[in-house]
Amino acid sequence: MTAAGLRPVVAANWKMHTTVEEGCLLARDVCERADKHPDIDVVLFPPFVHLWPVADMLGATDVELGAQNMHWETSGAFTGEISASMIAPVCRYVLLGHSERRHVFHETDDMIARKVRTAVAAGLRIMLAIGETEQERRNGETIAVLTRQLSTALPVDLPSLTQEGIVIAYEPVWAIGTGVTPTPDDAERVSAAISLWCADRFACQPEAVKVVYGGSVTAENAVSFVRQPSISGALVGGASLRIDEFDAIMHAAQESRTLREVP
Ligand code: PGA
């Protein structure tokens, strides 16, 4: 199986980093470098308060914008929350199910499922993060955990995973921000299983399912992940804050695309 036909996505999750001013400068730098990588999609997930100024900075470039989270209700008495319709004017994507949302803010599979429905209804593309904890991995439960996360988050009546532009980000919890990663073979094996599960659920080809890898992606290791046949890009945290390193990761994804096109 190969996801060769898919355009790789390289996404930057800035988390709760950068001032608005720093974020705008970083966005400007990303736009300049992204120009050299025309065959990949680049998505920035800055903090909420950066969204409008960063959107202005991105202007008419091809770099896309996404929000790091949103609430499942469309409006109401939810102090501190942000709705889909608030982000939709400037965001093409929303990141849902990130492990920090699941583990630090106790978001359940059900909450994430409700967010997915609301985001689809709002016309947002979703980057859905899933991943097992260290303990779950040691217990040999990785695939069972991922399957549970996917089957709750992605309702059977979702018209089409691919048409809705949903990207699955496989992010082992133990690899996020730790400098420890699975081997590229292990990441490939799990990504292939995710593609197969989604293909079965939504009656499409596994090759049509976009899966990216996330968790301690760096300039050095990016190439070994993005070249895997079932992996179509990367979700990058820490390294996305350093422009030279992020540029190298975009470059690795661009190269993977070029290599895959060779018959
Ligand atoms: P990291 O974070 O690249 O810093 O490990 C990835 C993520 O949280 O999406």
Q: Which domains does the chain have, with CATH numbers?
A: 9-261 (3.20.20.70)
Q: Per mean pLDDT, which range of 41-50, 121-130, 138-147, 197-206 is the poorest?
A: 197-206
- Which residue type occupies 181? T
For the CA of 100, the nearest atom of ligand 1: 8
- Separation between Cα atoms, residue 102 and residue 204, nearest integer Å: 28
| Unique residue bearing structure tokens 């059977």 | 156
Binned at pLDDT 50, 70 and 90, residue 3 comes out as low
Cβ contacts of 44 within 8 Å, gap of 6 or more: 11, 12, 14, 27, 30, 54, 58, 63, 64, 65, 66
- Residue 222 Cβ inside 6 Å of ligand 1? The answer reads no
Distances (CA, A) of 8 to 22, 86, 109, 165, 249: 26, 28, 27, 13, 11
Query: Looking at the whole model, is its pTM more than 0.85?
Result: yes
Kindly state the DSSP code that residue 220 receives in the 8-state scheme: T
Give the SS3 label for residue 154. Answer: coil
176 CA → ligand 1 middle, Å: 5
Mean residue pLDDT across the chain: 94
Six token digits for residue 154: 């992605």
For the CA of 236, the nearest atom of ligand 1: 3
Active site residue 98: yes
Whether 82 and 69 have beta carbons less than 8 Å apart is answered as yes
- Separation between Cα atoms, residue 93 and residue 88, nearest integer Å: 8
Binned at pLDDT 50, 70 and 90, residue 160 comes out as confident
Q: Per mean pLDDT, which range of 151-155, 157-161, 210-214, 253-257 is the poorest?
A: 157-161
Rg (CA), the chain: 17
